[in-house]
Structure 1
Amino acid sequence: MNKQLSKKQRFNYFLMNLISFASIFLILGLIVFQLVQTSIYQTVDHDLEKLATDQKFIQHQLMQTKRMQGNSPQLGKFDTPPPNNFQQQVILWSKEGEILNETELGSRFYDFQNLQLSTDNLEKIRSVQTKDSNDRSLQFRSITLPVENQEEVAYIQLLVNTDPIKGTVEQFKQILIICMIIFGLLSIALSYFLSKWFMKPIMVSWKKQQEFVENASHELRTPLTIIQAKLEKLFTKPNHTILEESETIALSLDEVQRLSQLTSDLLLLARSDSNSLTLEKEPVKINDFLNTVLLPYQELAVAEDKTFIIDLGEEQQLSFDKKRIHQLMIILLDNALKYTAQGERITVFSTVKNNEWSIKISDTGIGITDEKKTAVFERFYRGEESRNRKTGGYGIGLAIAKWIVDEHQGKIELTDTIPKGTTVILRFPVK
């Protein structure tokens, strides 16, 4: 993937994440602000509704105004006025829109002298704004009720001052805006980080695919070149018999077989990358299974004048993919035989202990240096090009082996055999 395409894709991820986070924070902020504002004003509206339905309170206000005007007798004991609330005010209006209880309002009358009577939304709570004598803005929640059977008073208006509430809401709004800005900056940083994090597996996958194609092309080219050369050689000698060219034909067939095996391994790796391969686990008696796999290699080792020791523990039945574990053992045993000389020893040990199936394949061959123990599981890795060409390796076997072990939730480890050689340790959990 070229740098320009990579940057463009990363910018798209960044923009998508930023828009998502910004939208979430904005919507959440609006919801929180609306809920807080509604809940605060809801308390005020509840008090207004309670006063509007309190006939005793309303009658007291009307009678108090008449008394102040000399048109009503003294109040009885049952007409004791409710406690005075500085935030709550009552205004009595005439039909002409004049305030009738100027005396009761006292100094606060100047706060309402600019207030106009509105009869458009009777018996409904609404917001009212006016200015006091100092030209300061005042906020109220108000409800206006019509008054019947009264000569002068036509309407009674109940008001609750909401300036403290408005101040609280404004302060909360400022805090919320600051928090939104902070979270906005955090969302930018988080979007940048996530865009980089999202691109990482894509870049790794792209690099992996590119390396796979390059290495596969390189490995396929060698056997194809050999086969082509051998076939062209046959055309230069059209009169030769098959017997005379048997060596050339045998070498070509050998390369065809190697090419077929390489193609199968490459296909397996490609399928493992796409997660299209699944394990087919079944109950298997491990000692019978291992003997079937190991005996042919034991005979081959004897033929090559090598010692092959098999040490199997108590017979047990475990569940695993028989085909894949067989393939795993062949890869490891092939390597053990390839890199041991005549007179050297190969030992295979198997045991089930502490809910773990352990297999150790040890040899006294050339060994592997510490810096190469991790690298050998990489695809197409070969420590020595000439040696692997000689033994027919392509550097794919141990990569496949590690994939098989990982799919079984196991572990594979390389250690040194004392005094020389390599030991492969396999550990599989027993469920």
Structure 2
Amino acid sequence: MNKQLSKKQRVNYFLMNLISFASIFLILGLIVFQLVQTSMYETVDHDLQRLADDQKFLQHQLTKSQQVQDNSRPLGKLDTPPPNNFQQQVILWTKEGKIANKAELGSRYYDFQNLRLSTKNLHNISSIQTNDSNGRTLHFHSITLPVENQDQIAYIQLLVNTDPIKGTVEQFKQILIICMIIFGLLSIALSYFLSKWFMKPILTSWKKQQEFVENASHELRTPLTIIQAKLERLFTKPNHTILEESETIALSLDEVQRLSQLTSDLLLLARSDSNSLTLEKEPVKINPFLNTVLMPYQELAVAEGKEFLIDLGEDQQLVFDKKRIHQLLIILLDNALKYTVAGEKIVVSSSVKNNQWLIKISDTGIGISEEKKTAVFERFYRVEESRNRKTGGYGIGLAIAKWIVDEHQGKIELKDTTPKGTTVVLRFPIK
């Protein structure tokens, strides 16, 4: 992936993350602010409605106002507590829209002297504001009720001062804005980090794809070059018989077979990456199956002067993909034969215990260093540093083996054989 495309993709990830985080914080902030504001004003409105529905309280206010005007003695204790003189207030209005209880209001009257009676929204709670004698704006929640059977008083208005609540809400809003700014800055940093983090697997995948294409091209080029050279050589000797050029033809056919096997392996890896391959599991008797796979290799090992031992445990019927496990064992047995010489030993054992099918393939060959035991499962990796064709491999056999084991939910391990060599341990769970 070129730098310009990588940078563009990272910017896109950054913007997507930033917009997502900003939207979440903004929506969350608005919801919290609305809930806090609503809950605080709901308490005020609830108290107002409770007083408006209390007929004893309303009658007491009207009677008390009349007694104050008549200079009568005050009434006794009321069942409903009177409103708080600072936060709550009762105003009585005449038909002409004048305040009838100035004496009761006392100094608070100067807070309401600019207030005007409004009869448009009777019986409903509304928000109003007025200016006191000092020009300060006061905010109230108010409900106005009509009064019947009264000569002088036509309306009673209940008010609750909401300036403390408004101040608290404003302070909360400021704190919320500061928090959102802080979280906004954090979201920028987090978006930058996530965009970089999201790009890592993409760049890694792109790098692996490049390496795969380069290695595949290299491996395909070699047999094609050999075949081309052999065919061109045949054209230089048109009079030769097939028998005379049998060696050239045989070498060409050998390279064709190698090329066919390589393309099949590459196709298998490509299809495994796209998850288009599925296992065809079936019940299989393990000992007859293993004997079928191992016997040809035992004969080949004996022909090469190598010792090949088979140790099979109790026969059981297990469920697995017969074709893929066969392919897996061939890959591992090929490697065991390639990296051992005459006089060395190969041991294959199989057993079923602890709900696991355990297969071990041990050899006394050249072995694998500790740091390379994980790398050998990478595609096109070979233990030899040079790309020689001494062992005839392409470095993708163990990658296919790892895929087959993973598809069976198993595990594959490489261990050292004492005194030398390598032991491949396969573990398959029995379900």
Coarse TM-score class (shorter-chain normalised): over 0.9
SS in 2 for 1:181: helix
The aligned length equals 430
- Structure-2 change in CA distance of 1:83 and 1:120 (3 Å): closer
Residues in 2 aligned to 1:65 and 1:296: alpha-carbon distance in whole angstroms: 117
- 1:169 aligned residue: 169
Aligned to 2:392: 392
Render the CA deviation track for 1:364-416: whole Å, top value 9, x for unaligned: 11222223222211111123266850221111101111111122222222222
Q: 1:386 to 1:250 in 2, by over 3 A?
A: farther
Structure 1 residue aligned with 2:412: 412
Q: Structure 2 CA distance, aligned partners of 1:343 and 1:167? A: 94
> SS of the counterpart of 2:89?
strand
Q: How far off is 1:252 after superposition?
A: 0.5
Q: C-alpha distance in 1, partners of 2:18/2:341?
A: 63
**Distance change (3 Å), C-alpha of 1:235 and 1:141:** same
1:69 deviation in Å?
2.1
Say if 1:388 and 1:394, in contact at 8 Å, map to a contact too.
no
How has the CA–CA distance of structure 1 residues 163 and 363 changed in structure 2, closer, same or farther, with 3 Å as cutoff?
same
Letter of the 1:83 counterpart:
P
Are the aligned partners of 1:377 and 1:399 in contact in 2 as well (CA < 8 Å)?
yes
Deviates more, 1:206-215 or 1:371-380: 371-380
Q: Which amino acid aligns with 1:303?
A: A
* Partner Cα separation in structure 2 for residue 144 and residue 244 of structure 1: 120
Show the counterpart of 2:204: 204
Counterpart-to-counterpart distance in 2, 1:145 and 1:330: 96
Deviates more, 1:300-309 or 1:404-413: 404-413
CA contact (8 A) 2:64 2:75 kept: no
The answer to whether the Cα contact below 8 Å between 2:83 and 2:89 also exists between their aligned partners in 1 is: no
Question: What is the aligned partner in structure 2 of residue 85 from structure 1?
Answer: 84
Q: Deviations over 1:130-160 (max 9, x none)?
A: 2333433322100112223322222211101
TM superposition shift of 1:217: 0.7
Displacement of 1:206 after TM fit? 1.2
CA RMSD, Structure 1 to Structure 2 (Å): 2.0
Question: Superposition pairs for residues 348-427 of structure 1, below 5 Å?
Answer: 348-384=348-384, 388-427=388-427
Q: What is the match of residue 312 of structure 1? A: 312
Partner of 2:288: 288
Residue in 2 aligned with 1:346? 346
Say if 1:378 and 1:76 are closer, same or farther in 2 by CA, change over 3 A.
closer
Between stretches 81-90 and 102-111, larger displacement belongs to 81-90
Most deviating of 14-23 and 171-180: 171-180
CA drift of 1:263 comes to 0.1
Task: State the TM-score, normalizing by the size of structure 2.
Answer: 0.95
The equivalent of 1:98 in structure 2 is 98
- Rounded Cα–Cα distance in structure 1 between residues aligned with 2:303 and 2:385: 27
Partners of 2:265 and 2:309 in 1: CA distance? 29
**Quick check: 1:145–1:157 contact (8 Å CA) kept in 2?**
yes
SS at match of 2:144: strand
Tell me: CA distance 1:79–1:412, structure 2 relative to 1, closer, same or farther (3 Å). Answer: closer
Q: Distance in 1 between matches of 2:220 and 2:412?
A: 28
Q: 1:187 to 1:81 in 2, by over 3 A?
A: closer
Superposed CA offset, 1:180-216 (max 9, x none): 2232222222222222222222112211111111111
1:387 to 1:55, Cα distance in 2 relative to 1, 3 A: closer
Taking the aligned partners of 2:302 and 2:230, their CA distance within structure 1 comes to 34
SS in 2 for 1:390: coil
